[in-house]
Structure 1
Amino acid sequence: MREVPIDKIIEVVRGLFIAANTQLGQDIVEALDRALEKEESPIGKEVLVELKENAEIARREEVPICQDTGLAVLFVDLGQDVHIVGGDFIEAVNEGVRRGYQEGYLRKSACHPFSRKNTGDNTPAIIHVNIVPGDRIKIAVVPKGGGSENMSRVAMLTPAVGAKGVIDYVVQTVEESGPNPCPPLVVGVGIGGSLEKATLMAKRSLLRPLDSQNPDPELAKMEEEILSRVNKLGIGPQGYGGRITALGVHIEMAPCHIASLPVAVNIQCHAARHKEAVI
């Protein structure tokens, strides 16, 4: 049994949220470079250049990539041979979020659903914990902005629609979102499971590097088809028109009930912020 003090968890979470909000991932930077080579619209090209410049300024000046620094979402793979000492794990994560958003001068966006009163420190965090073999803790943070999250959707499709129906639904969701989620996008898709499982898979899929290929050949082909169709919609960078509406499509799938076909689409903006660490 390996002991991990809560102070370590607090510090790692704090650092991850600051880094995710100020340092654009290298996979996103390279995807923007590839998008520049393909984009034919002069305005679209200009937008992509400005997005890269914005990311470089954020990295150099250690300021947020976007004013919307997101709700604090975390995916935690907790080793079953880890013993957390010195306090409560969930509170440690929330303290890390609290310090990260205060000390990193990040906007606090968490509020009461009806009164809209801000919680003041971007807590409580949304924490998804998965128990795994081993004695390590893998923490991935996803600061999720409101503009892209608002355009995300989930549906219980009729099983008879099959793969084509799923593809049509994902493309339709992106089309209806228009410029609202700040394209070019990363489109996370969860297929199967249950209502909540599909949405969780869709969000977790956003953690996959953009330069990676889906290990399932069927899903890899589906990702390519959806990306191709999405980029023919003409929405373009920031909605000004062009060939590049999305940088990538990531799909996760699980078995589902014989009477159901759950499909979730979790749209991510061009920043696609996420960072991870292993303790």
Structure 2
Amino acid sequence: MKTIVILGQTATGKSELAYKLAKTLEGEIISVDSIQIYKYFDIGSAKPPKNYLQDIKHHLIDIKEPNEEFSAQEFAIQTKQLINEIKSRKKVPILCGGTLFYFDALINSLDVIPQVDAKIKDFFNDISQESFINLYQWLKIIDPKWAQKINKNDKQRINRALSVFLQTKTNLTKYFNTRKKEDFFKDCLIFSLQIPDVELEERIIKRTINIANDLIIETQNIISMGFSQTKPMQSIGYRQALLYLNGKLNKDEMIQSIIKETKQYAKRQKTFFNSKFKDKSIQINYKNAFDTILSILTQSHSS
């Protein structure tokens, strides 16, 4: 059995689908979500319910404290190791999530780039906080082609590119151009969940309203643990809840801001998935995805 990859915009029911498939196919689930890796961030990250986690083995969930780092490169390394381990147990690996830069890491095989020393990472992370230093201008000098590919405000990618250059004396463009690119997804069956924009918007609005109170309570608890300034607290939902708790937004403004940003993120997901996976994936309706996937798998086994 090939590795199964479930692509889908936020709020399309990926976690439930992955759970049902894992139950039926004797699989294990690998989360492709940059917030679910953190402990305590459950509501806003739409982490699978506890009974799912207890019933089916899930990987890369609750593996980090909120103040710890976990790069896309580390994700790629661990994911490929996990797939081999899962297959060695005669189980089916199921990748499920929607974090774009994690999928980008798998596409671009970032796991083969040398690991960067933590002190170098910390150096760029620290100085990127200084308003008078423009690291994007540095990147344009050492790697102009890579600079064109990323947003000038994307601190994470800018810091990473500069860190790799300082560590290896080679910029990312030269590195990618001189190595043989691995097609990670050639051994995968990729299913892309399709949903009309109107339905997706309705689901986003409903989910946001339903979780609002619990999200506020969860955010308050995370703050009480001393994690208010951590990276996951800047993600959609938690950032707005933090503003609400600090008196900068009222509850309705918080909810509307979450809905707006979630819709914008869903659009970016759709654009990314279509540009990277349209020719590699099987597009299926999100409503009957489970039955459709089982039917496709049965046909592929019998042929």
TM-score scaled by length of structure 1: 0.26
Per the normalisation by structure 2, the TM-score is: 0.24
